[in-house]
Amino acid sequence: MPVRSAWLVNRTDAESGQSRTDTRLAPLGTMTPTSGLASRGGIVPGSPDGKSLMSGLYVFGTTAGMTATIAPGRAVVQGSEAAGAYPVVLTDYTALTFADGDANNPRTDLVVLRVYDAQFDNTGRTEAVLEIVQGAPEATPRAPQTPPASLPLATVLVPAGASVGTGGVNWTSAVTELRTTTVAVGGILPLYGGAAEQGAYPGQYRDSGSQLQRWDGTRWLGYPAQLGGIAPAGQLATGTYTGQYRDNAGRLERWNGTAWTLAAPSPSFSYNNDGGFCKATAWTEALTDTNGPTVTTTFTAPSSGKILVTVGYQGRSSVDGGWGRMTVNLRKDGALILGAPTDETRCATTTGRDMQSVSTTFQITGLVAGATYAAVSAYCASATTNSHWFDNRFVRVDPVF
Q: What is the pLDDT of residues 12-25, one digit of tens each?
A: 555 566 766 666 66
Q: Which pLDDT value is given to residue 169? A: 96
pLDDT band with cut points at 50, 70 and 90 for residue 382: very high
> Based on the domain organization, do 230 and 338 belong to the same domain?
no
**Looking at residues 307-328, what average pLDDT do you find?**
97
Average pLDDT over residues 31-39: 86
Is 301 within a domain?
Answer: yes
Residue 166: per-residue pLDDT: 93
pLDDT of 312: 98
Please indicate, yes or no, if residue 306 is contained in any of the structural domains.
yes
CATH at 335: 2.60.120
Beta bridge partners of 155: 110, 176
Beta strands in 208-256 (DSSP E): 212-215, 220-222, 230-231, 245-248, 251-255
Residue 388 and residue 277: Cα distance in Å, rounded?
Answer: 5
pLDDT at 226: 55
In the chain, % of residues over pLDDT 70: 93
Give me the chain's average pLDDT, please. Answer: 90
Mark whether 111 and 162 lie in a shared domain: yes
Mean pLDDT of 323-352: 94
Query: Which tens digit of pLDDT belongs to each residue from 181-201?
Result: 999 988 999 988 877 888 888
Same domain, 225 and 343: no
User: Is residue 43, in this structure, part of any structural domain at all?
Assistant: no
Mean pLDDT (whole number) for 266-285: 95
149 and 21 in a common domain: yes
Give the whole-angstrom CA distance, residue 278 versus residue 385. Answer: 10
The answer to whether residue 223 scores a pLDDT higher than 80 is: no
Q: φ and ψ at 255, to 5 degrees? A: -85, 120
**Same structural domain for residues 394 and 320?**
yes
Q: Residue 285 falls within a domain, yes or no?
A: yes
Contacts of range 365-368, beta carbons closer than 8 Å, 24 or more positions apart:
365/305, 365/306, 366/305, 367/301, 367/305, 367/306, 367/307, 368/301, 368/305
Domain boundary among 212, 241, 262: 262
pLDDT at 173 over 90: yes
Q: What is residue 227's predicted lDDT score, i.e. its pLDDT?
A: 61
Residue 38 counted as domain residue: no
319 three-class SS? coil
Count of structural domains, the chain: 3
pLDDT at position 225 is: 52
Do 236 and 329 belong to one domain? Answer: no
Average pLDDT for residues 330-357, to the nearest whole number? 93
Domain boundary among 116, 142, 177: 177
Residue 26 pLDDT more than 60? yes
Same domain for 370 and 248: no
Q: How much is the pLDDT for 76? A: 93
359 within a domain of the structure (yes/no): yes
| Residue 76 sits in the same domain as residue 214 | no
pLDDT above 90 as % of the chain:
60
For 27, 143, 202, the CA distances from 88, given in Å and listed in that order, are 7, 24, 28
> Exposed, middle or buried, 333 (CB in 10 Å: 0-12/13-18/19+)?
exposed
Strands (E), 258-320: 260-262, 268-272, 276-278, 296-300, 306-316
Of the residues 218, 241, 262, which one is the last residue of a structural domain?
262
Residues 380, 283 contacting (CB under 8 angstroms) = yes
Residue 352 lies in a domain: yes
Confidence of residue 230 (pLDDT cuts 50, 70, 90): confident
Establish if 284 belongs to a structural domain: yes
Q: Are residues 14 and 153 in the same domain?
A: yes
The answer on 281 and 227 residing in a single domain is no
Q: Nearest Cα to 396, choosing from 290, 278, 310?
A: 310
Give the whole-angstrom CA distance, residue 263 versus residue 254: 5
Q: Distance from first CA to last CA of the chain, Å, rounded?
A: 72
pLDDT, one tens digit per residue, over 240-266 is 788 888 899 888 888 888 988 878 788
| CB atoms inside a 10 Å sphere around CB 167 | 13
The parent domain of residue 9 ranges over: 3-30+57-177
273 shares a domain with 246: no
What does the pLDDT read at residue 303?
Answer: 82
pTM value > 0.85 = no
The one-character DSSP state at 341 is P
Query: What are the residues whose beta carbons fall under 8 Å from the beta carbon of 210, sequence distance 6 or more?
Result: none
Tens digits of per-residue pLDDT, 48-73? Answer: 888 888 999 999 998 889 999 999 99
CA distance 113 to 1: 12
Q: Are residues 24 and 169 in the same domain?
A: yes
Instruction: Give 224's pLDDT tier (boundaries 50, 70, 90).
Output: low
Mean pLDDT across 213-236: 77
The pLDDT assigned to 351 comes to 97
Identify the band that residue 229 occupies on the pLDDT scale cut at 50, 70 and 90. confident
Bigger pLDDT: 369 or 100?
100
Predicted pLDDT at 8: 74
